[in-house]
Structure 1
Amino acid sequence: MNSTDQRLASELLEQPQDTLWLADENALTFINSHQQVPATLTNRWDIFDRAQRKGAQCWFTDWDLNAALSQHNFSRIVYRVSKERPVVHHLLNQLAKQPQRWQSLILLGQKNEGIKSYADGAAKLFGNKAINKHGNDYVARFQAPPQPSGNTLNDQRYGQLRTIAEWHTTPIQSKPGTFGWQKIDEGSRFLVEQLPSVLQGLSRPPARVLDLGCGYGFLSLAGHELLPNAAWFATDNCAAALTAFEANCGAWATSFAGDRGLDGDASPLALPVDLLLCNPPFHQGFSTSGDLTEKFVRAMHQWLTPSGLALVVVNQFVGLEKRAQGLLKATQVADNGSFRVLALRR
C-alpha cells in the first residue's frame, strides 16, 4: 500500500458511518485490505461487488451522485481523484449543485495526478479551500457552500453520448468515462484487420462470441459484420463503457456488468463461447498491473469452449504468453511493431 492509499484509508476510516466514498479503479487496494468499508458510490462493477460483500451500502452508476445523495445526507465525501479530467469535473459540478446534501469534501492525490489543479477548480465552485502537502501527496478540504454558486467546470458534456468515428459508414457512439473514448484504438483496429483470415482458417464459423472488456464496443461492431448470425456477448466493469456499448451494439448483443463476466464463483454468466475477442488493459488507475493481465487470461480460460479460440491484441511489452502458461497456449498471428495479435487456445 503506497502513501496515497494509506492516506485514503485514514480518511475513510475516520468517520465511516457518515462518509460517502467516491471510488474508481484506484479503490481495489483499500477494499482488498480492509473489512470495514463506508458507503460507496462507484462506476466499477468489481468495486461495487466487493464493497457490497463487505456489508457496505453501495451504488453502481456512471457517476450519478443522485443515486446516493437523494437517499442520504453525508457529513463527509472522500474522493481520490480519477485519471480522467472530465470525470473529476463532472463529480465536482454535481456536488456544487447539491451543497445541502453534504458538509465537507476531501480530495486526495499526487501532484502529477492533477490534484492541485482540481483543488483550484473546486475552490471556484465552493468558495473555500484548505490544502496540505504530505510528501508526494496532497489533501484538499472544502466545506459545502450555503447555496450553489452557479459556476461549473468543463466536464466535456460528461453524460452525453456523441459520434466519435465511423466504421464502414456505421457511426460509433462514445462518451467520457470510457477508456480511449474519443478514438478507435489502434490495437483494436489491428486485431480486426486479422479477423477475416483467422475466421477463414476455422473449420466452422463461431456460433457464440464474447467481447471481453468491451469498452464502447468497437470489436463487437466490427466483428458482427463478419459474423452476423452468431450470438454476441460482451462484458465490462465500467458503467460508462456499458452505456456506450448498448448504444452501439445493444440491438443484437447481450452485455454484462461484471468482473470480466464472471460470477462470484468465477463462472461465466452465459454458456461458453467459440470465439473471444479482447484488447486487455494493462493498467489499473494510475498504475500498470500484471495481475490485471493474468485476471483476463483466467477469464478467457473460463469462457472458452474446449475447442474455442481467443484472439487478443497486446502492446509489444506485454508478455501475455508467459502469463498464459498453464492455462492457454498462445500463437502469434501478426506483429506490426507496435502491437501483436495472439491466438490463444485451451
Structure 2
Amino acid sequence: MRIAIVSDAWEPQVNGVVNTIKNTRHSLLELGHDVLLVTPDNCRTFACPTYPEIRLAYQPYAKVAASLDGFVPDCIHIATEGPMGLAARRYCLNRGLHFTSAYHTRFPEYLRSRSRIPLALSYCWLRWFHGPSKAVMVATPRMQDALQQRGFTNLSLWGRGVDTTHFAPREREQSCIERPLHLYVGRLAVEKNVDAFLQLDVPGSKWVIGDGPLREALEQRYPAVHFLGAKPNNELAPYYSCADVFVFPSRTDTFGLVLIEAMACGVPVAAYPVEGPIDVVAQGRSGMLDDDLGRACQQALALDRVEVRQCALAYSWEAATRQFLHHLHPVRHAGAPQEHGLPEVVGI
C-alpha cells in the first residue's frame, strides 16, 4: 500500500512526534508498504511564535500538492495541525479525498500557558481541523475520553512503541556521579513543567537532556544541575541506563515516549498521576506516580530494574504500526472516479 504521511514536525527537531513518525515509517517499510513523508524540507520557513527553535513551513501548499500528486497515495495521514497539515487538509478537501489525522500534542494547554489564549477557542479550531478526518488517532484511552468530552468524533486508539533492542540496560557508569542520579529528557519549555523537577530537594544529582526556550534561564536558576543539551534519539540509551530514576514532571503530555524508553533501559519513573504517565507507568512496578514528585522519586529508587524493563516489553513499534494501519482509510471509496486537473490553491 502507498501511504503518505504529512507532518510539520521533522528533523532537526528532537521530540516525540518526530520519533513516532520515524519509527512508524520504519515499521511500515518492514511490513512491505511504500511510504512518502511530506515534511518542511526544502520549504521556506519561519520561526514558530514563542518557540523560535521550531521552524514552520511558509505557504507549503504547492510542495504538498506536487508531492502527493506525484506519489498517488492509497492513504493520506496528516500528523500535525501546522501549515503542512493545513495544506494537506485543503488538498484532500479540494479533491474529495479521505484522510486520517493524529492528535499528538495538547496545543490548547500549551497555547494557554504561553499566550493565555482561552482553551475553548483553541479546541474549537482543532475540532474544525480534525472534523473531516475519517479517524483521529490518539495515543491513550484517557486522551480519547478527554477529546470526546470536548466534542471530537471519529477517535481511534494508536499506541506507541519502543525499540527494546536499542533501549536496553547497559553497564552503568559509576565514576564521578553523585548518586542517586535523577534524569530528565525532553524539551525545556514552560509546558513541560521542568521547574517542578529542578526545584526538588532530593539527594544526589540531577541531569537534564534537552533544549528549548527556557534552557538559558534554567541554567542560571539551577547552577548545580548538569545540563547536557539535546541528544539524538539514537544516543540516549547510555544516559538512560546511567540514571537511578527518570523524572517526568509534565502534566500535559498525551503519552510521553521517553517514559517507555527509560523503562526499557530498566530505569524506574517518577511522575505525577496524570494523563500520559498514568497510562504508561505500572504503579509500583515500573515507576511511582504521586502528587508529591519528591516522594515519587524516593519510592521509585526501591523498584526492581529488571521488572521495570519487563513492563516496557509490552510496547512494540510493530504492534503500534499495525494499529495505525487498521485505522487508515483509502483516499477514495472503491469504484469512485479519479479526478484530474483540479486547480491548485495558492497559499497554505
TM-score strictly above 0.5: no
Which structure is higher in RCO with an 8 Å CA cutoff and minimum separation 6? 2
**TM-score, normalization by structure 2:** 0.38
**TM-score, normalization by structure 1:** 0.38
The structure carrying a bigger strand percent of its residues is 1
